[in-house]
Chain A
Amino acid sequence: MTVEYNPDQKIPHPAMWGVLYKSSTPFWEGVKNKKIMLQKCKSCGNLLNPPRPMCPKCQSQENEWITAKGTGKIYSWVTFNEAPHPAFKAPYAAVLVELDEGPRIVSNMVDVKPEDLEIGMAVEVTFEDVAEDLTLPKFRKAG
């Protein structure tokens, strides 16, 4: 099932990682509004994930943000049998989801046990408030 968080441990807000790089701010604004946003090159249409200031295909610095459908398939996963940090309670799985739009993102399943995971499993996004100031995109089995 989903990752259980240890309430005694503060999960650093992802915005922390935006101090040096501003490009991910719209993604986290989107998550707050329960949407997965993807950065798209205005010039060639390439989807840039994780976001970046220049398109690596055409070197354009003009981009926009689109809303992903929030559906995809499990591309791979790992199961942490020991917690790598006290913030998380093992065991839990981290899944790599290939979104239908193409980009792949890391997340957790909220309704599938690690032993029941399969590559190719159809999934859809859901949003979990893991702390007062932190919502994260998670996934559940589609359909």
Chain B
Amino acid sequence: MLQEYMDRKYRTDNKPSVEANLIKNNVAIVGIGQTQYTKNSGRDELDLACEAIQNAVDDAGLKMSDIDGFDTFILDRLSLPMLINSLGTPNVRFSCEVSGGGGAGCAVAVHAAAAVATGQADYVCCYRSLNEASGHRYGRGDDFIEYMPVALTPNYGYIWPLGFVTPLGWAGVWGRRWMHEFNITREQLGWWPVVLREYAQNNPEATYFGRPMTHEDYMESPMIVDPLKLHDCCVNTDGAAAYIITTVERAKDLKQTPAIIAASAQCCPIEQEIQTIYQRPSISGLVETWYVGQELYRVAECGPDDIDVAQLYDPYSIGGIIQLEELGFCERGEGGKFVEGGDNIRIDGKIPCNTAGGLLSEAYLHGWNLVIEGVRQIRGTSYNQVKDVELSMVTGGPGVASSGIILRR
């Protein structure tokens, strides 16, 4: 992968044939559900998960007992047995926890889709529930033992005692290198959070609904981990979200317009532990996002110009903007210029991005809210609806094993 990336030459001769892909056009997201996104839910994460899952089941027009598979990604704190005991799903025969943290934001859908495409299960529920605002936030300096088994590696030992302990720092290092190599300015970075905040003003469920932000506000916000300012960073959210995956065939009997998966991809490249991608020949780009994009375009048989709207996993502005480059929405190193002024990522722009407000202004639900917004764009029910959406892209987080899907009508 790394060699293909360095050469910017995606090989198709060593990939499975598109015709053999069982997911393409055969699997769909048929139900979406969420709780309120708050700063202090006052409830536990299991409680929140039950509500979001019930909402997704109702939205699909299913019964809870129809759900026979569950899928999430690692670092989840609620116990699956407790969840099943609470929901009362009697026929669960598939469960999965995908690796990669936020990178698995879409890989969860990929694995669930594989399960329904191969008959492992009929209706898989993908769920996430977090009290990150009022409870424990992932990626804090003190979670090296309790919450992050991945941290028990030599790499973490090499960085923790040096004070290098949070995702903002890990990503800030490759972010600065990217800014340095391509002369990306602070002013340019600011347009990503500003446009996302604009979207959030139309989304009453967004954390930052009713709290607009100008580019000037952005520039004046404090620097948290230089090169990242406060408003470059995602919000903290209490809440839960869920969606349901089944076959297109079964979707015909259900309530909603299915969001059909035209392509799905996961990428686990070398040298990517917890975003410390520093041994790669180049750290000013993201092999995993490039690879996911290439594979999505190959399987869906389309290109970046065909994508009508995108939800890019953006725990910080730089993560969103570099993905624009790697997914081919602009040239490599041109991400700063591309977002300048904001028009290219606004609703009538070249590629409207994170139209519900994204992780910076809607909610930090580990990407579940991005998948849900990707589905809304297909259904035509977004608060910031792009006209005549044919193809809606969603990606997982950068700098780790990442993933993506393209949804179609």
Contacts and interface: CB of A to CB of B under 8 A. Distances in A.
Contacts of A92: 163
Contacts of A76: 173-174, 176-177, 180, 283
Contact of B165 (A18, A27, A49, A84): A84
Nearest to A131: B161
A39 to B, nearest CB: 10
B342 interface: no
Given A84-B166, A104-B279, A106-B278, A78 B226 contact: yes
Given A12-B160, A51-B154, A78-B173, A114 B226 contact: yes
Interface string A74-91: 011111111011011000
B141 to A, nearest CB: 3
A81 B226 contact: yes
A3 B154 contact: no
Nearest to A114: B226
A104 B276 CA distance: 11
Nearest to A138: B162
A81 B230 CA distance: 11
Contacts of B144: 12
Given A77-B176, A78-B225, A96-B173, A14 B158 contact: yes
A76 B162 CA distance: 15
Contact of B270 (A28, A56, A87): A56
A21 B165 contact: no
Contacts of B164: 94, 106
A134 B144 CA distance: 18
A108 B169 contact: no
B161 A134 contact: yes
A84 B163 contact: yes
A23 B155 CA distance: 10
Interface in A77-134: 77-82, 84-85, 87-88, 92, 94, 96, 103-108, 114, 119, 130, 134
A15 B177 CA distance: 30
Interface centre among A27, A94, A114 (most CB of B within 10 A): A94
Which label, helix, strand, loop or mixed, suits the secondary structure of the A interface?
mixed
B328 interface: no
Contact of B223 (A19, A52, A81, A96): A81
Nearest to A118: B180
A84 B162 CA distance: 12
Interface centre among A12, A56, A114 (most CB of B within 10 A): A12
Interface string A1-42: 001000000011011111111011001100000000000000
Contacts of B157: 14-18, 24, 28
A136 B162 contact: yes
A50 interface: yes
Interface of A: 3, 11-12, 14-21, 23-24, 27-28, 49-52, 56, 75-82, 84-85, 87-88, 92, 94, 96, 103-108, 114, 119, 130, 134, 136
29 contacts: A3-B163, A11-B161, A14-B157, A14-B158, A14-B161, A16-B157, A17-B151, A18-B157, A50-B154, A50-B155, A75-B177, A76-B174, A76-B177, A78-B169, A80-B163, A81-B224, A84-B165, A84-B169, A85-B140, A87-B141, A87-B163, A92-B163, A94-B163, A96-B173, A103-B279, A106-B162, A114-B226, A119-B176, A134-B161
Given A24-B154, A77-B176, A94-B162, 9 more contacts: A12-B160, A14-B161, A49-B279, A76-B283, A78-B169, A81-B226, A84-B165, A85-B141, A106-B164
